[in-house]
Amino acid sequence: MTSFGVRGLLSRGVLAVAAVLAVLPVLFLVSLSLRGVDDISNGGWLPSRLRWDNWPAAFQTVPLARMLTNSWVIAIGATLLTAVIAVPTAYLTARGGRSGARLYSVLLAAYCAPPVVAVLPLYFLLKNVGLTNSVLGLALVDGLANVPVAVWLLDGFVRRVPRELEEAAWVDGLSVAAGVRRVVLPLVYPGLVAAGLVCFFLAYNEFLFAVSFSQSPSSQTLTVGLSLFQGDRTVQFGQQAAASLVAIVPVYLLAVAAQRALIGGLSQGAVK
């Protein structure tokens, strides 16, 4: 066998194992969600008979529909807030010379601290302004907390915009801000989409802030709802699996649908 053959076989083997590992736990959730209690206790990978009743039951055990809505509203609101802040900020970090570079490192340092450090102070802040147990409060916190990630991803895109294009716009009488809006923004659009997707996933998947700031059912997110399904009883396995899939399916659909934008944006923005 040629060395190419061995290498090809080896790399394909590694990739096949990785792909199976990547989907296995979620496929097992699908299997569990379609099985009755006895079928689950018997163990094994596949259902002996398909049953759908775990799905409606999960929606009744916890207010899943409400939580799903909350998660979406919070994630979309947070992503919009992050984007509005991150665009001018990324322009500043990329084009602002030394102070831009300084702002960039401060933002990265802020991202490095574990969020649990900010939980108690933010709890008191939200309580003082009446935004605990509130969808708006969580959207604000998540949106601000994700700004460093968005700037990190966008900065590289802004750097690749040719300066000459902007200079031409200034000569035509545009202000710097108008140049950002009309020249830079359309060119960094792929990066903005990728950063938006990443920040959406981060806000949608967020758990620590959600569980700390929002105890009331009206503002609880899906991740908090899932964590409420605790307990080792087999009875709830099927429902727990169904509820977890309710959380997973939308992000998987979004990730697959937007795979090009996501992969392009992540890999181009992050590698400098």
Partner 1 sequence: MGRVPLWMALPALLSLLVIAGYPTVVGIALAFTRSSLARPLRAFVGFDNFVAAAESVAFGGSLLRSAVFAVLGTALSVGAGVAAAVALDARGGRFGLLGTVLLLPMVTPPVSVGVAWKLLLAPVGGAFTGLRDALGIAGFNPLGSGFGAFTTLLLIHAWQWTPLVTLLVYAALLGVPAELREAAALDGAGWSRTLFSVVGPQVAPSVLAAAILELVIAFKVFDLVVVVTSGGPGVSTTVAGFEVFRTAFRGSFEVGTAAAETLLLGLVVGVVLAVAGLLTRRVRGAEQ
Query: Rule CB under 8 A: which of 9-28 touch partner 1?
Result: 10-12, 14-15, 18-19, 21-26, 28
∠ CA 95-143-187, rounded to 5°: 35
Q: Quick one: 45 or 216, whose CB is closer to partner 1?
A: 45
Contacts with partner 1 by CB under 8 A: the residue count is 101
Which CB sits closer to partner 1, 28 or 189? 28
Interacting stretch for partner 1, rule CB under 8 A, among 56-64, 153-161, 185-193, 238-246? 238-246
Extract long-range pairs of 100-108: CB within 8 Å, 24+ residues apart.
Answer: 104/151, 104/155, 107/147, 107/148, 107/151, 107/152, 108/148, 108/152
Residues 74, 137: contact at Cβ < 8 Å?
no
By CB under 8 A, what part of segment 173-212 binds partner 1? 175-177, 201, 204-205, 207-208, 211-212
262: which residues sit within 8 A by CB, 6+ positions away?
Answer: 194, 197, 198, 255
Least distance CB 56 / partner 1 (angstroms): 19
Q: Which window, 53-61, 139-147, 153-161, 188-196, contacts partner 1 (CB under 8 A)?
A: 139-147
Could you tell me which of 238, 183, 227 has the C-alpha nearest to residue 37? 238
How far is the first Cα of the chain from the last one, in angstroms, to the nearest whole number?
A: 39
Query: Given candidates 131, 135, 138, 147, which one binds partner 1 under the rule CB under 8 A?
Result: 147
Q: Which of residues 135 and 137 has its CB atom nearest to partner 1 in the complex?
A: 137
Dist CA 179 CA 23 (whole Å)? 45
Q: Which of residues 20-79 bind partner 1 (CB under 8 A)?
A: 21-26, 28-29, 32, 40-41, 43-45
Give least dist CB 134 to partner 1, A. 16
